Amino acid sequence: MSPNPTALTPAQRAVLVLMSLDEQVAADLLRHLEEADLKRLAAAVDGLDAVSFETVAPVLEEFERQLQRPQLAGRGARYMRKLTAAAVGNDRADRLFAPASALPSPLDAIRSAKAQTLAELLQDEHPQVAAVVLSQLPQAGKVLQAMPAGLQADLAARIAVLEEIPPQVLEIASESLQKSLAAAGGMPKDGKAEFDGIEYVAKLLNDLPPEAGEQILASLDDETARKVRQAMFTFEDLLRLDKRSMQTLLRELPGDQLCVALRTASETVRGHFFSCMATRAADQLREDLELMPPKRLSEVESAQREVVDTAMRLGQTGQLQLPNRGGGDDMV
């Protein structure tokens, strides 16, 4: 017995409309429905095997009237989201349809990534792409430092001649890099960005007059104060020591320690050391550096830290002149 049209549920009416359409058209419509809606339609099919024309006709007439009415926004956004996902992929659709503040852009996401992981992945990118991405990162210095010396120079040269950043290149590279970082575990968890508190405080104190900085350091616990002091004066800062101070420092350093410390140093830093040494000693050190077998980065960093610690100790006892912090002038 054919059911009464007025007793049909909305799902049953939808089934009757679909059954009245061309098979291909009906199949195309079904492909755009959510799984929950498909289940409702499947459940509504029961009892609709034998349906008379008198039952179907008023349903189709009502459907035609509905099509002629202006359609208000309802589930249209969800449908549009589904079409967009089919066209550009789920990841990009999520970003396009997310509220402005809900999801960070790929570039914003990699700006909070771990520098070491970022450096490793950028080495696999085309150097020009890596240079473009690197030019947009606040942690670019740390990322560059974690790369091989040859690549550092290449990327620096490429960045130096950049006059404009192609938005499309940046977007595509950032999206690809974000996925690689997530897969490698280089993205911060729970949306929390990496933050180096010691380095931040060191930079903060370096901007203060020496007396104010020392007062704050004295209020910290010994271990924290030690770490902040180390961050305030780095191996590169030795470039600011005058020749007499450098010679005082060199007399205190074991030769093997200095050689290891200079392993990853820039040519500028090496040249500063060589210029403060006797010609024969400088030539010997150059030769030792050329013949030195590979060293672990941790060994080199440890040797550099010991050199800096020696300089700071000599500065505190007045045996050499350390560069002034804050806005004060260095001794001349």
Q: Name the percent of the chain lying above pLDDT 90.
A: 13
Handedness of CA 281, 282, 283, 287 (dihedral sign): positive
Q: Are 316 and 306 in contact (CB under 8 A)?
A: no
pLDDT reported for residue 248 = 93
pLDDT digits (tens, 9 = 90+) for 65-89: 877 765 544 455 666 667 677 766 7
In the chain, pLDDT over 70 holds for what percent of residues?
Answer: 72
Residue 159, both tokens: 């960045």
- pLDDT for the residue numbered 287: 93
- Mark the ranges of the chain whose per-residue pLDDT is less than 50: 72-74, 100-103, 186-193, 326-332
Q: Report all structural domains of the chain as residue ranges with CATH numbers, in order of start.
A: 5-68 (1.10.220.30), 106-191 (1.10.220.30), 233-316 (1.10.220.30)
Secondary structure class of 142 (helix, strand, coil) = helix
CA end-to-end span of the chain: 107
Residues 124-154 as b or e (16 or more Cβ within 10 Å = b): ebeeebbbbbbeebebbebbbebbeeeebeb
| Tally of CB atoms within 10 A around 175 | 19
* Burial profile 70-89: b = 16 or more Cβ within 10 angstroms, e = fewer: eeeeeeeeeeeeeebbeeee
pLDDT at 95: 63
Q: Are 21 and 29 in contact (CB under 8 A)?
A: yes
d(CA 244, CA 250): 10
